[in-house]
Amino acid sequence: MSCKIFKPDRSGCEKAFKAIDADGSGNLDLDELKKAFDLLGLQLSRNQIQSIVDIVDTDGDGQMSLNEFIHFVHICKNADAGDIKKILFLAADADCSNAIDQEELGYIFRKLGVNISTQQLGELMNLVSDNQDGTISYETFVALLDSLLGVK
């Protein structure tokens, strides 16, 4: 079940971000994102755009910073709308490293409404980590989800 995930081009993302950031604030608000999507011919409602922002908005300010935008591009570039596990993995992988660390796993669990303590999360990561650096791969993440959901 190998999964090829492509990293976004940071330079290209920075250029696009600057072009979209009409007011030069260093953050993309809903109006700027709506205009960008409209220009691309992607007719998304403000609610749909807000849902996208909510996924990548790690600082909770309701806007998209450059790093959050790069994360957003990472998700869009690699997501398959029919593969929720891959979308969840990409959403958790905030640093676009193709691996999830304890903080990122905790982030996605919170987004999913899973109540887990820091200690429980640490124990879980120690149990399932498949990389030398204490992170988990896509394949391990899928196996973890399947285990938690009782999927065989």
Enter the tokens of residue 120.
């429980």
- pLDDT for 152 equals 64
Q: How far apart are CA 5 and CA 147, in angstroms?
A: 23
For the chain, percent of residues with pLDDT exceeding 70:
97
- Report whether 124 contacts 90 (CB < 8 A): no
Kindly indicate whether the domain formed by 82-152 is annotated with CATH number 3.30.110.40.
Answer: no
Q: Which residue has the tokens 């992607």?
A: 42
Q: How far apart are CA 46 and CA 28, in angstroms?
A: 13
Q: Nearest-CA neighbor of 5 among 145, 141, 147, 138? A: 138
At the topology level of CATH, where does 8-78 sit? Recoverin; domain 1 (1.10.238)
The pLDDT tens digits for 17-41 are: 999 999 999 999 999 998 888 887 7
Q: Assess whether the region 8-78 and the region 82-152 belong to the same CATH fold.
A: yes
Say what the pTM is: 0.79
Q: How far apart are CA 6 and CA 132, in angstroms?
A: 21
Enter the tokens of residue 15.
């250029």
- Report whether 121 contacts 110 (CB < 8 A): no
Q: Nearest-CA neighbor of 125 among 96, 100, 146, 97? A: 100
- pLDDT for 1 equals 46
Q: Mean pLDDT, the chain, as a whole number?
A: 87
CA of 129: how far to CAs of 59, 96, 145, in Å?
Answer: 26, 18, 14
Domain residue spans in the chain?
8-78, 82-152
Q: Which residue has the tokens 């749909």?
A: 48
Enter the tokens of residue 131.
């990389």
Ranges 2-11, 94-103, 140-149: which has the least confidence: 2-11
Q: Which residue has the higher pLDDT, 79 or 47?
A: 47
The pLDDT tens digits for 100-150 are: 999 999 988 888 888 899 999 999 999 998 878 889 999 999 998 888 877
Enumerate residues 6+ apart whose C-beta is below 8 A from 145. 85, 88, 151
